[in-house]
Amino acid sequence: MFNLDRLVRENIKKLTPYSSARDEFKGEASVFLDANENSYGSPLTKWYNRYPDPLQWEVKKKISTIKGVEAESILLGNGSDECIDLLIRAFCEPALDQVIICPPTYGMYEVYAHINNVAVKAVPLTPQFQIDLEALEDAITANTKLIFLCSPNNPTANSLAREDVELVLNNFDGLVVLDEAYINFSRQRSFVPELIEYPNLVVMQTFSKAWGLAALRLGMTFASKEIIQVLNKIKPPYNINQVTQELVLTALNNLEEVNSMIVEIVKEREQLAIDLKNLNFVLEVYPSDANFLLVKVQDARGVYNYLKEKGIVVRNRSNVILCEGCIRITIGTEAENKVLMNALKQYST
């Protein structure tokens, strides 16, 4: 049976969180002399002399209406990366607990586990890039607190089978962290509506990919209110700055524009996949539910270096498990994809 209390580290349970001036006084007032800000203003025209809302309620309310999740079930992080770090620090006892990752996958789960001195057990995906359910079951111990799953997965570009993710959710009594950074490009439905059914589900999304706001550093975590409360307790009080909060509110009012970019990117992805398959040194273009393609070529290092010479940078993934001979190509603009294809056509002749 799932028991959140059993998962939270003892020191976090006992922790008295920092109480900021903005936490202690909520309400209307005309004179704010409680936070040691500069009451005279700032060198900028905006009133950036004031600390921002520590819980970003305005942004969360807007996200809440778009995603159909209550604002209390949302945590915002300085990128998904901060969310990953908070999850590990809240639930994994250093030098005792472990997390499971399913490589090839996003590198930051492992990095943050190691920074926190938390053991990482790797259960590689199958050759079809799906969860190896038997190996996963064998890898789980009483100290396994988190399983990181990424769907659509980076760098393999595919979605994990929904039934497999459900099976893990139904049989694991730690937290299943599902990273949906690329969900907007996918044919699959998000697991966010499933939060009601699974108290052990944590879904992460980000403004860095489809939303086109990688520079703002804003990641979203969706989970039960109880899980979010634990994370709120340990996050830095003002982890999302005022400028980001304002800009993202503006962006959230431009959903149409984002959706039309997504349509365009998916269209370009399908065309690029067809074009790449026609090149004689391309061995495989893997199906993609993301804004990039994983491409197996005859000489990955050769292709990578050739493109670099031409001023085109792709990611060489040939040293990554199950991705031998592969490069990862982000979908560019129509013009950029043409430049790429022209260069690659010259490579093959």
Ligand X SMILES: *Cc1c(COP(=O)(O)O)cnc(C)c1O
Scanning residues 120 to 179, which ones bind ligand X (CB under 6 A)? Answer: 150, 154, 179
The answer to the question of residue 106 lying near ligand X (CB under 6 A) is yes
- Residue 52 or 155: the one with the smaller Cβ distance to ligand X is 155
Least separation, in Å, of the C-beta of 302 and ligand X? 26
The answer to the question of residue 80 lying near ligand X (CB under 6 A) is yes
Which stretch, 53-61, 118-126, 202-210, 227-235, contacts ligand X (CB under 6 A)? 202-210
The answer to the question of residue 224 lying near ligand X (CB under 6 A) is no
Report residue 159: phi and psi, to 5°: -90, 150
Could you tell me whether strands 292-297 and 201-206 are parallel, antiparallel, or unpaired per DSSP bridges?
unpaired
The residue assigned the tokens 């893990």 is 168
Could you tell me whether strands 282-285 and 219-222 are parallel, antiparallel, or unpaired per DSSP bridges?
unpaired
Among 168, 219, 251, 331, binds ligand X (CB under 6 A): 219
* Count of CB atoms situated within 10 Å of the CB of 212: 15
Among 151, 158, 208, 224, binds ligand X (CB under 6 A): 208
Total binding residues toward ligand X, as defined by CB under 6 A: 13
Among 7, 74, 81, 174, binds ligand X (CB under 6 A): 81
295 in Cβ contact with 282 (< 8 Å):
yes
- Residue 8 or 69: the one with the smaller Cβ distance to ligand X is 69
Distance CA 259, CA 255 (A): 6
The answer to the question of residue 110 lying near ligand X (CB under 6 A) is no
Least separation, in Å, of the C-beta of 349 and ligand X? 34
Closest CA to 326 of 344, 300, 346: 300
- Residue 199 or 287: the one with the smaller Cβ distance to ligand X is 287
Can you say whether the dihedral through the CA atoms of 44, 49, 50, 52 is positive or negative?
A: positive
Query: What number of CA atoms fall less than 13 Å from residue 181's CA on the CB side?
Result: 27
The answer to the question of residue 104 lying near ligand X (CB under 6 A) is no
Alpha carbon distances (Å) from 43 to 37, 38, 292: 14, 11, 42
**Which residues of this chain interact with ligand X, rule CB under 6 A?**
79-81, 106, 150, 154, 179, 181, 206, 208-209, 214, 219
